[in-house]
Structure 1
Amino acid sequence: MVWADKAIFLTPKTTKHLKSLTDKLVHFTPDPAFTFHQSHLFRRSLTNYDFAITTKKYELSYFEAHLKKEQIIYATQGFDTNLHQPITKFNEKKDGLLFIGHHEKEREMFVQKMIESKIPVSIAGIKWEPFVAKNKENFYLNYLGDGIYGQEYVKAISAFQFSWGSVSKWIPELHTTRTFEIPACGTALITERNEETTSFFTEEEVIFYDSIEEMIDKIKYYQSHPDKLELLTLRELKE
């Protein structure tokens, strides 16, 4: 069996050749392949694969335009059990919330309201520099750079009381890798309430919100009730 991952945009000729060398040719991508990242080579080659695996439920109809339904496999995002593990003890965690991810206008609005509500927020990711410059005098904002990866990513998430599993508004996704990586690192996941996140977790396992106001209220509640926050974190650690 031969796999072609998201980073490889193979030509139809190449995929036909690969298929001749194997019983099964499988394509996998954890990213949006039609609604955001796009490649004409991918679309033209897709019919040469025996199976295609996607983590984007909202793109299933696009895949169905090229393959039979039985050739398309939907899988949720996930985490690496060998990498994403708890590192920091609860009583040693930093106060406040961590977000690792690229800048989006909607995310900026949330972070702005949090720091104005005196909630410490640390962010890392690309395109945040103008926002950081605008708030350079705000004590509650901490910029960790344009990216954190690998073991340092795990250490960063595990070091905080809360971490935000924000889903992108550029695409209609309802969960992301952070949805699973944050709990796996032993930190309280804050995530929007939707049909996918509520299918993975209960109200007793993560911190759901429907609005920025609810998000802020819940953060402040758990900040003033660290015993309950610890129980929430420990419950996640058991998963």
Structure 2
Amino acid sequence: MTKSILILGSFSKGALELQYEKNFTLLNWAVKSIDIQLPVNYKKDRNGLTKLIHCVNPSIYYNNINRSILIESALLKPLVILVFKGMELFPETLLELRKHCKLLCNYNPDHPFKFYSKGAGNINVVNSIKHFDLHFSYSENICKQLIKDYQVNSYCIPFGYDETIKPIKSKSSHLLEQVLFIGAWDKDRELKIKNLNEFNLQVFGSNIWNKKLRRLKNISYHNEPLYAQDYANACLSASGILNFLRPQNIIEQSHNMRTFEVPGYNGLLISERTEEQLDFFEEDKEAIYFDSIEELKDKLQFYKVHEGLVSKIKANGNDRSIKSGYGYQNRTKLMNSYINKYLE
């Protein structure tokens, strides 16, 4: 008998939801996906006024998507509903969704009740915690907090990488044997990168980086989207990929998506040091870690003249990724096992 799952979240390029959508299908689930973020963004991003209204009273932009989700779920009556984060969904909507499925689950790629940055969460996320049957988080520490503070069922499913993508060596000069940073801008990351001006870094991300870095002679900005195959090719081709964690990851001593993607795609992970990452990849054997810009500079200088070690660490990190099952196929199988346990 085919089992049905309704996945609610964001399905833009690089979104985590896409991995679970694909891999639940491979596990013979009948998957229906609805983007709950795109309709809201379309309305709020029309002009400056709509953005201001969203800042003051975002709920008015959520009404339509909540109504349509309730109609769709009543028609589908899926066995499982899986919500990613859920900023756009009212707690009252979740109470109604429970009537249309056997199991209501949440995967939050951020902290569910401590918000360290804009867009990380809202009151809907906090007030909805108690309404889910199952919670999934990338962080073991967050799971422990959910169990302790909210007495809910919570399980850790770390981030991963798409093992179906096979990286190909690039011939682009700005990728080949260069140190790259690929990611969104924030003030903290900007300051760290500016302190590395001597290392000829290549930065990929939104256009705001161009404005922030234009006066730096040795740091180059590339307005090229790097997703899927392009991202994997960059990891393989570069001498290393910098990973500046968000404040929440440092506080939690956790990890982010790049933690697994870079080694998974045969790249050299150069990341701020945390307890979880040290468990996933052994320091100086499978990945490189640092606690300060000074330590990072020393390591960049060292590995710049030890290319053989770089190649070895890349190979070790990729081997660890494969042997430890860090890909999203296994992550989805793990989630599937928890779901099946509560469906029995």
User: Could you tell me the TM-score, scaled by structure 2's length?
Assistant: 0.60
Q: Deviations over 1:193-239 (max 9, x none)?
A: 22122111112111122222221222222221211211111222223
CA RMSD of aligned residues (A): 2.6
The one-letter code matched in structure 2 to 1:81 is E
Task: Select which of 282, 286, 294 maps to 1:205.
Answer: 286
Runs of at least 4 residues off by over 6 Å: none
Identity of aligned residues (%): 25
Shift of the 51–97 alpha-carbon distance from structure 1 to 2, 3 Å rule, reads same
Aligned to 1:190, what secondary structure does the other structure show?
Answer: strand
Higher Rg of the two aligned structures: 2
Task: Select which of 121, 125, 129 maps to 2:205.
Answer: 125
User: Map of 1:146-225 to 2, 5 A cutoff?
Assistant: 147-169=225-247, 172-173=251-252, 174-203=254-283, 204-225=285-306
User: Map of 1:1-239 to 2, 5 A cutoff?
Assistant: 1-6=80-85, 9-36=88-115, 37-57=120-140, 59-60=142-143, 63-64=146-147, 67-69=150-152, 71-83=153-165, 85-88=166-169, 94-115=176-197, 117=198, 119-126=199-206, 127-135=208-216, 138=217, 140-145=218-223, 147-169=225-247, 172-173=251-252, 174-203=254-283, 204-239=285-320
CA distance in 2, matches of 1:49, 1:166: 32
**Total equivalences in the alignment:** 231
Unaligned runs of 5+ in 2: 1-79, 321-344
Aligned to 1:230, what secondary structure does the other structure show?
Answer: helix
* C-alpha contact 2:107 2:137 (8 A) present in aligned 1: yes
User: Could you tell me the TM-score, scaled by structure 1's length?
Assistant: 0.84
* C-alpha contact 1:95 1:120 (8 A) present in aligned 2: no
The one-letter code matched in structure 1 to 2:259 is T
The one-letter code matched in structure 2 to 1:197 is Q
The one-letter code matched in structure 2 to 1:216 is K
Structure with greater proportional helix content: 2
Shift of the 62–238 alpha-carbon distance from structure 1 to 2, 3 Å rule, reads closer
Displacement, 1:80? 1.9
The one-letter code matched in structure 1 to 2:297 is I
Aligned to 1:94, what secondary structure does the other structure show?
Answer: coil
